[in-house]
Each structure stands twice: as structure tokens, then as C-alpha cells.
Amino acid sequence: MKKYLITVKGVSYEVEVEEIKDGIAASKPQNVQTKSVSPEIKAAAPKPQTSAAKPQAASSGSANSVTSPMPGTILKVKVKAGDTVKNGDVLLVLEAMKMENEIMAPSDAVVASVAVAEGSTVSTGDVLVTFN
């Protein structure tokens, strides 16, 4: 068995860990005591975001355009001028902080122009797509 000292949110815990090989413990536990410890949590911790990012709601600079909600790189452009899109359709994929964010249409519309190309870098507030 190995002993470790683990600190979680400022509270230290001493734990013993035994390696299990082929589903069998190396030695029989003797005088095993279990203790459930739940330290008081003052504020809920933010949930870590996984690699499967949630679709990003489209930011709108005006009723006729979609702007970038964050700085990043355009990975995929899924629409072109003249395309008809519905509310929630994916317009493009924006990579920001190594996560892929789907930028979606805010309403039913016809694409007037696409202001970015795949591989281009955008800043927060840059116009991505305009509508008729």
C-alpha cells in the first residue's frame, strides 16, 4: 500500500492506495475503516468543458449580421451567398482555445455575404456573415 496526501480546495486528506492486479488485491485488507468526508463547499465550481463543445449561439451586431463571439480561427464555412438558412443552422465552425464552436443562424434568413474564409483569424465582434 502507498500513502498519499491529497489537498482538495484547501482541505488535506491522507489516503492509502493499493494496487490491484488482474482484479485481485495484492494483500488482504486488515482492519479496514471507511470514512465518508464531504467538506463544505461554499460556491459551485464551474463545470469543466469537454472536447465536444456546445454549439455557440450566434452573436449579432445588427439584425442583418452575425459577429464573432470570441477571437479564433475559422475552421469551416458551411454557407455561401444566396443560401437559405433556418434558425439554428450551423453557419461556420470557429476554433477558439483549441475548441470547435459552431456559430449558428439567429433566425431564418438568406445569406447575403460571408465575410470570412477557412483559415482566417477573427477578433471578437468581427462580422462573419450578413443576411438580406
The CATH fold assigned to 65-131 is: OB fold (Dihydrolipoamide Acetyltransferase, E2P) (2.40.50)
Residue 72 CB burial class (10 angstroms; 0-12, 13-18, ≥19): buried
Q: pLDDT at residue 51 above 50?
A: no
Residue 100 and residue 39: Cα distance in Å, rounded? 35
97-105: average pLDDT: 94
**pLDDT range class, residue 53, cuts 50, 70, 90:** very low
Are the CB atoms for 91 and 104 separated by under 8 Å? yes
How confident is the model at residue 41, as a pLDDT? 47
Q: Is 52 helix (H, G, I), strand (E, B) or coil?
A: coil
Q: Is 46 helix (H, G, I), strand (E, B) or coil?
A: coil
- Quick: pLDDT tens for 69-97: 999 999 999 999 999 999 999 999 999 99
pTM, two decimal places? 0.54
Nearest CA to 112 out of 130, 126, 127 is that of 130
- Tracing cell 453557419 back to the chain, one arrives at 91
- Number of Cβ within 10 Å of residue 117's Cβ equals 9
Kindly report the backbone phi and psi dihedral angles of residue 119, in degrees, each rounded to the nearest multiple of 5, phi listed first: 95, -10
pLDDT of residue 8: 86
**Residue ranges of domains in the chain:** 65-131
Average pLDDT score over residue span 89-114: 95
In terms of average pLDDT, the best of 2-6, 12-16, 103-107 is: 103-107
